[in-house]
Amino acid sequence: MKSSYLGGTFTPAGTSLCLKRMGYGTMQLPGPHVWGPPRDREAALEVLRDAIAIGANHIDTAEFYGPGTSNQLIREALSPYPDDLTIITKVGFVRGQDASWTPDHTPDGLKRAVHENLASLGLETLDVVNLRLGGPNSPDDRSVLQPLQALIELQHQGVIRHIGLSNVTPTQFAEAKSVAKIVCVQNQYNLVKRDDDDFIDSLAAEGVAYVPFFPLGGFSPLQSSLLSQVAEEVGATPKQVALAWLLQRSPNILVIAGTSSPVHLRENFAASDLVLSDTQVAKLNSVSGQVD
128 within some domain: yes
246 within some domain: no
CB atoms under 10 Å from CB of 24, counted, come to 26
- For 122-131, b/e burial (b = at least 16 CB within 10 A) is ebeebbbbbb
The reply to whether omega before 251 is within 30° of 0 (cis) is no
Q: Which of 79, 63, 78, 77 is nearest to 30 (CA)?
A: 63
| Domain harbouring 172, CATH code | 3.20.20.100
Instruction: Report the domain count for the chain.
Output: 1
Report the pLDDT value the prediction gives residue 4, as an integer from 0 to 100: 39
Residues spanned by the domain of 80: 9-221+251-274
CA distance 122 to 111: 16
Rounded average pLDDT per 10-residue block, the chain, 292 residues:
54 96 96 95 97 96 97 98 97 95 96 98 98 87 96 98 98 98 97 95 98 83 86 95 95 94 95 93 82 47
120 within some domain: yes
47 within some domain: yes
Measured CA distances, 277 to 193, 230, 256 (Å): 21, 10, 23
Q: What is the sign of the dihedral through the CA atoms of 14, 125, 258 and 5?
A: positive
200 within some domain: yes
Run of H or E residues at 110: helix 107-121
Nearby residues of 218 by Cβ (< 8 Å), 6 or more positions away: 137, 188
| Full-model pTM | 0.94
211 within some domain: yes
Question: Which of the residues 24, 65, 189, 210 is marked catalytic?
Answer: 65
243 within some domain: no
Residue type, 279: T
Q: Is 65 a catalytic residue?
A: yes
241 within some domain: no
CA distance 168 to 174: 10
Report the pLDDT value the prediction gives residue 5, as an integer from 0 to 100: 42
